[in-house]
Structure 1
Amino acid sequence: MFPNSSNLGRPPFLPKHQQHNNFFNELPLNIPPTLLSHQQIVDARFNFQNAALSRALLSGNLSTIPAVSPQPLTYGNGSSGPTSAAPTLFRGRKRLSEQNVPYDVKRQRFHSPHCESTLVNQTVPLPEERRYSFPGSIPSPLFHAHYIPDLTGCVPPLRDAPFPDPIETTLPVAKDKLSQQVLELFQACQQQTCDLNKKELCRTELQKEIQRIFPQSRLFLVGSSLNGFGTRSSDGDLCLVVKEEPVNQKTEARHILSLVQKLFCTKLSNYIERPQLIRAKVPIVKFRDKVSCVEFDLNVNNVVGIRNTFLLRTYAYIENRVRPLVLVVKKWASFHDINDASRGTLSSYSLVLMVLHYLQTLPEPILPSLQKNYPESFNPTMQLHLVHQAPRTVPPYLSKNGSTLGDLLVGFFKYYATEFDWSHQMISIREARAIPRPDGIEWRNKFICVEEPFDGTNTARAVHEKQKFDIIKDEFLKSWQRLRDKRDLNCILPVRATIQKR
């Protein structure tokens, strides 16, 4: 995760000579949560008592948090009350952000006039103590890494303050109608700092609770929340790293997640709802945070998600046309019901890779291959605690291509409607070109092949039915034809309705 506390640059695990024996194998993983003592349950509760506490948690300054003593569960103003009183929970949380004005969004209902977008194309060195935690928010005296700002980079570190000062955002100039519509949609729907703060607060609290079961574990916020392509309605993705070694996703990961699910269903049931264990190739626990109304997906040791978060974040900020294009494509795919891997269509991650690939393959590219140009910064074997430092050294990419946002959007649909060879080619941002499909079993009989840039798997493997594939291709073709003829975003995506829904 991007820096947030004094843990910046510190490894997620102690050096082997300072570790206890293999904690993962020694933990009594089969202890049911019901055997935990009342004291443990009281100590494990969430405690969002006031805004000062929230800021203390986000800054990593845990010394300012009052000690926990055995007492009835408290919330908001600290008064005792029934643990199941949902209205009390929401009233307490709203006092943290009295400036927030609720409005309808998918899965979220919060807004703040003081929210700001993440910075574009500028480096903002921050004091060492004010960063998003990487990898955790619990200080450790064993490591003493310091952040030295690199003024040549263009990828901004994330601000830690819940209500940061407003900062100008550099965006491309839009002179034609279609480009203006793309920018308008982007500015209205992009993830705001207050949205990220709410996810980070939840991550910080959950990490503390999970560390009671797995003391050396770390919980990372990954995916669209941090990679620069998030929207106001984006879910939160969490990666629980329990040990340095790989975890068997079919056995160990499922077992660990079943314990996490029990934790959510018992001790944290007043704050976490609908925890479900999904037994996919990479199993996850899906749940909803009642306080922020954000939905989360939590996996175990899927560390490739941490690596690609920072790779994508670098792509997002080295050229200022990238983020608006990606957001519009994601909203378009969602509107046309082709943005749901669980239903056999494209994941948001695959859509992002498709946009990046298109921008790399133009006659005058707008994006390079970062893995080719900066192999040391995006080495797939790089130690996990160094991954977040890579984007700092990457300068802006100066493309000679002056195409407008509108022209690029039309070209994107045309590329996948008429030029890309779905039957024989694979999308690869690692190579910055379309490459021949591999002959392996994972790629055989697959309709869409999108290479994961680090582990080489197919991110579009969910598209396994010809009917769904035909629907996806048809949407690309129809959208290209309509947009080419009318040059109006409303002909493929209702702009006003999308902004209102966010």
Structure 2
Amino acid sequence: MSAYSQLEQALQSILPMIKPERKDWAVRFDIMADVRDAVQTVENLRGATVEPIGSFVSELFTKWGDLDISVEILTGSHISNTGKRQKESLLADLVGALRSKGTWRKLRLFSNARVPFLKLEHSLQRISCDIYINNLLGQMKAKMLFWINGIDKRFRDIVLLVKEWARAHETDEAESGTWNSYCLTLMVLFHFQTCVPAILPPLKELYPGDLAHDLSGVRADAERQIEETCAVNINRFQLNRSRRINRSTLSGLFMSFFEKFSDIDVRALAQGMNVYSGCWEDIEINMAWQPRTFAFYVEDPFEQPVNTARTVTNNHLTKMADAFRATHNMLASNYYNQAILSATLIRQDRLSPARRSIFRNMPGNNRSRPQVNQASSSQSQSHQTRNFRNNRSSNNENMNKPVQPPHSQTGQIWKAKPS
């Protein structure tokens, strides 16, 4: 069996282990019901709705993934504009209501965050939750990613695999100075935009507006306009007969992801990721990124110029780049087996004894893990640095201007799976 076949087989074996099953959806619906009960006991939140946001909506969560929730305060038909201090006060009231239920633990209120939120863990289900007040923008970001999932199913698979890899390497916790799962998702999206040929278009080709700004006025009208615009432009992209099709395997895309970002600590000195335009951008010429205050830039295409990698520190950036390089060098070496791939790509405590035996019994597992050649690793990093300098100004080919559709078009509406 070739190395690429082994990698493809390993990835196809891991995906069923990390993809949420029906029971994982049901658990999250139960948790939202628990939050809903607590919300109704808070005087200032009576009548508020409890709505999922984040990866639950985009369907980019693993079975162990967090659940993001927004408590939406109704103000008639219009989108509410709740101030930061009011959100902090309402979340503080909610803390008491949730604590009194006795089904929650590790309650922490992050009032100094850019968007205040409450982090807690369900005692019975052991699912971590982030609760926000009036975060419709977060919900619409997730819907956009859900629609993008429909363009190419490989996107969701790679996102889930990368998220699990990040957990295995402890590089998925923003509070510790690394990137968050949303940032990782955007990095995979950027990878799909910059493959040759590209799999996904720049985000401006799907929604050329400013999502954060456009969510105003009557909620139903604002959401419908966004949904219809995306539906028309996604359909246009998919029906473009002149578009070259990328037929890379899952293993090919996975390996090239780590190759692309193995020099991220070097590239981050001069460039950041512009997912809206689908290209690397020089930090020194982007006035929205000045003065430079972050170690790493991955701009939120739906809320420019917010940096989704703002929590990343220089020390952790080096650590994360080392993890990228080590994984890429291991995959490129062809000296691995399914057991080694399992140890590298998924946290072992996630696996049941039966699941672990799947990897142990796969063909080729009699090979021992090779020693890493330090000189070879250094040469590889040097080679990546030279490639970065040579390719620094490269961009994707321009695409036609996206269509701004009339209201009469049919939008793609996200619907929750049944519990």
Same-fold status (TM-score > 0.5): yes
Q: TM-score, normalised by structure 1?
A: 0.59
Residues 336-361 of structure 1, C-alpha deviation per residue, up to 9 Å, x if partnerless?
11111010001011111001101101
Contact 1:427/1:449 (8 A) holds in 2: yes
- Write the distance in 1 (CA, Å) between the matches of 2:203 and 2:95: 38
Aligned structure 1 segments of 4 or more residues deviating by more than 6 angstroms: 376-379
Q: Aligned match of 1:274 in 80, 86, 106?
A: 106
Q: TM-score, normalised by structure 2?
A: 0.70
Instruction: Please tell me the residue identity of whatever aligns with 2:311.
Output: A
Offset of residue 377 of structure 1 = 11
2:118 matched residue in structure 1: 285
| Residue 366, structure 1, aligned to residue 214, structure 2 | no
Instruction: Please tell me the residue identity of whatever aligns with 2:274.
Output: S
Moved more, 340-349 or 382-391: 382-391
Contact 1:227/1:312 (8 A) holds in 2: yes
| Residue 230, structure 1, aligned to residue 81, structure 2 | no
- Write the distance in 1 (CA, Å) between the matches of 2:203 and 2:129: 29
Contact 1:277/1:285 (8 A) holds in 2: yes
2:246 matched residue in structure 1: 401
The secondary structure found in structure 2 opposite 1:176 is helix
Q: How many residues align?
A: 325
Of Structure 1 and Structure 2, the greater helix share is in 2
| Residue 433, structure 1, aligned to residue 284, structure 2 | no
Moved more, 372-381 or 398-407: 372-381
Distance 1:265-1:180 versus aligned 2 partners, 3 A rule: same
Distance 1:211-1:376 versus aligned 2 partners, 3 A rule: farther
Structure 2 counterparts to residues 76-115 of structure 1, below 5 A: none
Contact 1:254/1:283 (8 A) holds in 2: yes
Instruction: Please tell me the residue identity of whatever aligns with 1:449.
Output: Y
- Write the distance in 2 (CA, Å) between the matches of 1:351 and 1:487: 27
| Residue 248, structure 1, aligned to residue 77, structure 2 | no
2:131 matched residue in structure 1: 298
Q: Mind listing any 5+ residue stretches in structure 1 that lack a counterpart?
A: 1-173
Offset of residue 298 of structure 1 = 0.4
Distance 1:175-1:475 versus aligned 2 partners, 3 A rule: closer
- Write the distance in 1 (CA, Å) between the matches of 2:208 and 2:293: 32
- Write the distance in 2 (CA, Å) between the matches of 1:381 and 1:496: 40
Q: Aligned match of 1:461 in 288, 305, 310?
A: 310
Contact 1:224/1:309 (8 A) holds in 2: yes
Offset of residue 400 of structure 1 = 0.9
Instruction: Please tell me the residue identity of whatever aligns with 1:445.
Output: T
| Residue 201, structure 1, aligned to residue 46, structure 2 | no
Contact 2:327/2:344 (8 A) holds in 1: no
- Write the distance in 2 (CA, Å) between the matches of 1:362 and 1:338: 24
Instruction: Please tell me the residue identity of whatever aligns with 1:276.
Output: R
| Residue 497, structure 1, aligned to residue 328, structure 2 | no
Distance 1:285-1:379 versus aligned 2 partners, 3 A rule: closer
Offset of residue 461 of structure 1 = 0.5
Contact 1:364/1:401 (8 A) holds in 2: yes
1:149 matched residue in structure 2: none
Contact 2:110/2:118 (8 A) holds in 1: yes
1:415 matched residue in structure 2: 260
- Write the distance in 2 (CA, Å) between the matches of 1:479 and 1:175: 14
The secondary structure found in structure 1 opposite 2:69 is strand
For the aligned residues, what is the CA RMSD? 2.9
Structure 1 vs Structure 2: percent identity of aligned residues?
22
Offset of residue 382 of structure 1 = 4.1
Structure 2 counterparts to residues 61-80 of structure 1, below 5 A: none
Distance 1:399-1:312 versus aligned 2 partners, 3 A rule: farther
1:112 matched residue in structure 2: none
- Write the distance in 1 (CA, Å) between the matches of 2:347 and 2:38: 41
- Write the distance in 2 (CA, Å) between the matches of 1:274 and 1:336: 23
Distance 1:257-1:487 versus aligned 2 partners, 3 A rule: farther
The secondary structure found in structure 2 opposite 1:318 is coil
Offset of residue 335 of structure 1 = 1.1
Contact 2:210/2:302 (8 A) holds in 1: no
